[in-house]
Structure 1
Amino acid sequence: MNAATAPAVRHEPHGYAPDGTPVQRWHLDSGTGTTAAVLTYGGILQHLTVPATDGTRASVVLGLPTTEAYAAARGPYLGALVGRYANRLAHGRFPLDGAGHTVPANDRGHALHGGPDGFDRRVWRATPAPGRHAAVRLTLLSPDGDMGFPGALEVAVTYRLGADHTLILDYEARTDRPTVVNLTHHAYFDLTAGQDGLAAHTLRVPGTRYLPVDAEAIPVGPPAPVDATPFDLREATVLGPRLTPEAVAAHPQLAAAGGYDHTWLLDGAPGPDGLRPAATLATLDGSRAMEVWTTEPAVQVYTGNQLDASLTGTDGRPLTRHRAVCLETQHLPDSPNHPEYPTTVLRPGQKLRSRTAYRFPHLAGA
């Protein structure tokens, strides 16, 4: 590895949002070989460049080359910050304190990731974040009634890239009226950097229960045990055999989604830092590995089932099915309609705080 230098932050213009608002790209340099590029459009993580064990540097997230390309790509949420409510709300409806609320449907009659004009399609305000890391703080004001959600919501998300190669996302939110909030990040990870796709990865998810869903990805019934199912990922599991057409067709949950698009409930008590392990992704050859740690109670694993090669990534390669995986730390989908789930209600005077850390153990000591 190269000798360490001081962490650095810089930004530059990066096109325009559909309404003409200028967009910036912020570059974070850890000083130790890991870098990130974050757009103010959608809070998108466009690049996350991580050295391999042999020193080769490449981005391990899928990205698009321009702001305009992101704006035109409705649906995949590539690298975006997602809100006000990540995942699905059945039929775009939810109750809160005795009143019903409606969010515009944008996925098979349901509201997905905050509706058709969610946080992934907004221009966030960016400022350098203080501290010893390379960091940028993004802020957004979602007005009362935005996409049908009650309350004016102030949101802040800080990207921090440390000298130890860890990328931390800190989420904060406040409201002036009771509302529901579920924030996540929708990065697509490919640790082979476009060489081999998910077939060349192992995945471990330390959860003993997952959430079964219907054909429209809405939760049905209580969480189910992963035992003796393809959802048992408690040991590092090679993804290739799990994602063959035959394997997907053999299990009704996988068949309906075209692969994994499911929520695991995370087991175990958080550590002293409030984080618990959510997932470990690694290449078969050991060249890169990533651990995901979070304060959230669950993780949604999505294996890029809807990527159809219609988009071309920053590396010039088409974004094809099962090329990458999303590891979306969050609360459970459709929680406002399931009082038995951990609550996503945020009230005035409360402050939502959430953290997810992406660690690269193959670089330990580098």
Structure 2
Amino acid sequence: MKLKALSLLLCSALLFQNCTSKKTETTQDSTTSTIKSIEKVDFGNLPSGEKAELYTLKNANGMVVKITNYGGIITNWLAPDKNGKYVDIALGSDSLKDYLDASPYFGALVGRYGNRIAKGKFTLDGKTYTLAQNNGVNALHGGKKGFDKVLWNATPIDGEEPQLKLTYTSADGEEGYPGKLDVEVIYTLQKDNSLKIDYQAKTDKATVVNLTNHAYFNLTGDFTKEVLDHEVILNADKFLPVDETLIPTGELKAVAGTPFDFTKSFKIGARINDPKDVQIKYGKGYDHCWVFTDTSNKLKNVASVYEPNSGRVLEVFTTEPAIQFYTGNFLDGKAKGKGVSYKFRTGFCLETEHYPDSPNQAKFPTTVLKPNETYQTTTIYKFSTK
């Protein structure tokens, strides 16, 4: 009898253990779920009543990237310094409300057209399309409600390299753009402390597409500090001069002999206030598009940033032909998050892309997407130390 009772007790214990283990692995409710290297929590409600979610991707090294399906925003990015200490290096917020109140595209997916289109108009196949003029007289980053302000459908994909797949269908005529556009973006946190972003889109009518991510970085991890001591290399021998409204003039100008030459390492602050350079004046610093020396659609190393105190290095690889290097010149303290008000030049962006205003400039590489074609690009942001 004692042996039988002991056997029953052991069976009960094993059954409880198995049930508990299974519950830990598979339990999902409205507030939280865990699938090994991916965690999901509620991130708040939009004014429409829709619920936003926040996904945390982790790799074996300890890197953490948090992404919300509202705008595809990277909210947090923990990267190691030279001593192995992980801190957040991405400007943003821990609150959905902060993004709704004021956000200069922190960490967001940008579309249908990243960057500017002159006077909010372009002509395609003989028809003129009118967009919102949401940046002075120009259209910027997809309009008043671009892809940064919509709720994407999210699918976490677990594995050694966790992924978050986001999909969104932009209706024909949304924000003035022609064609129903089906968009897919996959974030992959890789083993080598890099985040790969794969973009794909298809349309049922000729349209223009230029997708990017608008992450702001400060590699010190202290968002009260300016980024002027960060050292930058851009593998670009030309840049696009702009007019007073930051629309490209159409010229591809050599960077040699200008404050825009980052073919060798320079601190961001070394020439950013050059009073003699009209382009610096127009951008209030750097807010321009650099054209890569290698303009192929191969994945290539196009930029690197080094922060000496932390030892952090950020490298950028992309299939795109250009990059918008922006130094937070319009940050004015209105956007808040993570315990700070984000001020002038406390973050920088490296937005891989096609050229601004391409729909109006025939000499620029085309951004037209037609039915039966697939828009497909890849960008990787990789962290290391030295």
Same fold at TM > 0.5 = yes
Aligned to 2:228, the other structure's residue is in SS state: helix
Q: Residue in 2 aligned with 1:11?
A: 40
Verify: 1:213 aligned to 2:242, yes or no.
Answer: yes
Q: Is the contact between residue 192 and residue 200 of structure 1 (CA under 8 Å) also seen in structure 2?
A: no
- For residue 318 of structure 1, report the CA deviation from its aligned partner: 2.1
**Partner Cα distance (2:86, 2:310) in 1:** 15
Q: Residue in 1 aligned with 2:12?
A: none
**Partner Cα distance (1:69, 1:317) in 2:** 11
Q: Residue in 2 aligned with 1:253?
A: 279
Equivalent positions of 1:228-267 (< 5 A) are 228-243=257-272, 247-267=273-293
Structure 2 letter corresponding to 1:165: N
- For residue 277 of structure 1, report the CA deviation from its aligned partner: 1.9
**Partner Cα distance (2:310, 2:51) in 1:** 41
Equivalent positions of 1:39-188 (< 5 A) are 39-73=68-102, 76-129=104-157, 132-188=160-216
Relative to the length of structure 2, the TM-score reads 0.88
Q: Residue in 2 aligned with 1:308?
A: 332
Relative to the length of structure 1, the TM-score reads 0.93
- For residue 311 of structure 1, report the CA deviation from its aligned partner: 2.5
Q: Is the contact between residue 248 and residue 258 of structure 1 (CA under 8 Å) also seen in structure 2?
A: no
Structure 1 letter corresponding to 2:334: S
Q: Residue in 1 aligned with 2:294?
A: 268
**Partner Cα distance (1:165, 1:270) in 2:** 25
Moved more, 247-256 or 53-62: 247-256
Matched positions, count: 351
**Partner Cα distance (1:347, 1:353) in 2:** 13
**Partner Cα distance (2:141, 2:371) in 1:** 23
**Partner Cα distance (1:208, 1:168) in 2:** 25
Q: Is the contact between residue 269 and residue 276 of structure 1 (CA under 8 Å) also seen in structure 2?
A: no
Q: Residue in 1 aligned with 2:308?
A: 284
- For residue 131 of structure 1, report the CA deviation from its aligned partner: 5.1
Structure 2 letter corresponding to 1:250: K
Cα RMSD, aligned residues only: 1.6
- For residue 130 of structure 1, report the CA deviation from its aligned partner: 5.8
- For residue 7 of structure 1, report the CA deviation from its aligned partner: 6.5
Post-superposition CA distance 1:47-71 (Å, at most 9, x none): 0101111011111110112111101
Q: Residue in 1 aligned with 2:54?
A: 25
1:341 to 364, 376, 379: 364
Q: Which runs of 5+ in 1 are unaligned?
A: 1-5
- For residue 323 of structure 1, report the CA deviation from its aligned partner: 0.8
**Partner Cα distance (1:151, 1:110) in 2:** 21
Q: Residue in 2 aligned with 1:354?
A: 377
Q: Residue in 2 aligned with 1:3?
A: none
Which has the higher Rg, Structure 1 or Structure 2? 2
Q: Is the contact between residue 91 and residue 106 of structure 2 (CA under 8 Å) also seen in structure 1?
A: yes
Q: Which runs of 4+ in 1 moved over 6 A?
A: none
Q: Residue in 2 aligned with 1:317?
A: 340
Structure 1 residues 341 and 270 mapped into 2: Cα distance closer, same or farther (>3 Å)? closer
Structure 1 letter corresponding to 2:176: G
- For residue 117 of structure 1, report the CA deviation from its aligned partner: 0.8
